Amino acid sequence: MAEVFNWHLQRKMQYQYDESRPQKQIAYVFDTNKCIDCQTCTIACKQTWTWGTGQEYMLWNNVETKPYGFFPMGWDVKLMELVGGGKWDSNGAYTGKTVFEQADPGERVKGFLFDAEHWAHPNIGEDEPVGVAEKGTYIKELPHSMWFSYLARICNHCTYPACLAACPREAIYKRPEDGIVLVDQSRCRGYQECNSACPYKKVMYNPEDRVSQKCIACYPKIEQGEQPQCVVSCIGRIRMVGFISPPGVIDPKNPIDYMVKVKKVALPLYPQSGTEPNVYYIPPKHANRDYTRQMFGPGTDAAIDAYNNTKNDPTLLGLFMLFGSTEKIIRQFEVQGETAIGYDDKGTEVVRVPVREPSVVRDYFDRVHESYLHNIT
């Protein structure tokens, strides 16, 4: 085992290979507070990539209702049992053991494998809330005693992928140009070590082709400077993709850096796994805090506070308005007065949006067409 630095954990840890970061690292930010569970992202991904034989229950992108929804069933409960819920010190450093450090002798990763039944119910637990609301109650304060939240999930394209570390065939690799993690189908023999190792269960086995398959981050679009299908299809405009700067480097003009490193409003999912995932989430502000701290780590409360203060932060507000505003990848951004502007990797402007969307109140009676514009009965 090599010793590598994991900036999510704020410490060094053991990993199968030496530390080798890509030239640039793809990263996403998902705003859980805006997700409406429409599953448009899921359908867009499935129609593009997983419509073939053996992929009937394969969802590279899915949306789960937390805390009772899973795909596969119970994946995060099993992960928490594995890492013990997570232990953090007062400085935000992880003191527990990662999935690599818990590996048994002869193993590279401490993993767990689910059977077909666990994969056969992608919408189990859909819209099952926690708690009971008495008759006549209403939301007086947050977090509310009765709650659920939506969690959109894809491959995290981790800096230290457990799937890559576990593969005895070296069939899984991380692209040096953008950090996207891929499976070489010609080398894979379907041993399923990657399926067992991935703590997020985002590497899936195709029983017909007898190989493992996973999200490819729509890399043909990434290579053209465009965002993936799940991002551009999102009706709620909850997603943004870009590239995050390496540890110790912060570019405040980079939208991903600004959310993750400057404002720290977006956090990794279950960072205690040790894989340094590159999908970051703005935690749900209405959900139980003990639950969300377990999911997103010790920065949860500060992230929610920063999110709640967005109305007083014109730069963050402007950045949020750029979500879903263009198919192009926004590499740099700025807010000028009441306008947010996004630029590509060449510094060319690709989108310009108002920070606050205009509202128009129309007359209830259209005199031109002599008709009422809303129900007056």
Residue 85 predicted with pLDDT over 80: no
pLDDT of residue 124: 81
Confidence band for 375, pLDDT divided at 50, 70 and 90: low
Residue 73 predicted with pLDDT over 70: yes
Strands (E), 254-356: 267-268, 279-282, 332-336, 339-343, 349-354
Residue 48 predicted with pLDDT over 80: yes
Instruction: Extract the tokens encoding 312.
Output: 């007083």
pLDDT of residue 360: 83
pLDDT of residue 283: 98
Among 315, 314, 297, CA closest to 255 = 315
Contact 92, 86 (CB under 8 A): no
Read off the amino acid at residue 298: P
pLDDT of residue 129: 84
Q: Which contacts qualify for 259-264: CB closer than 8 Å, 24 or more apart?
A: 259/29, 259/316, 259/319, 260/27, 260/29, 263/306, 263/313, 263/316, 264/299, 264/302, 264/303, 264/306
pLDDT of residue 350: 98
pLDDT of residue 359: 84
pLDDT of residue 86: 75
Confidence band for 246, pLDDT divided at 50, 70 and 90: very high
Spans of all domains in the chain: 2-248
pLDDT of residue 371: 87
Instruction: Extract the tokens encoding 142.
Output: 């947050």
Confidence band for 202, pLDDT divided at 50, 70 and 90: very high
Residue 139 predicted with pLDDT over 80: no
pLDDT of residue 304: 97
pLDDT digits (tens, 9 = 90+) for 319-370: 999 999 999 999 999 999 999 999 999 999 999 999 988 888 878 888 898 8
pLDDT of residue 232: 97
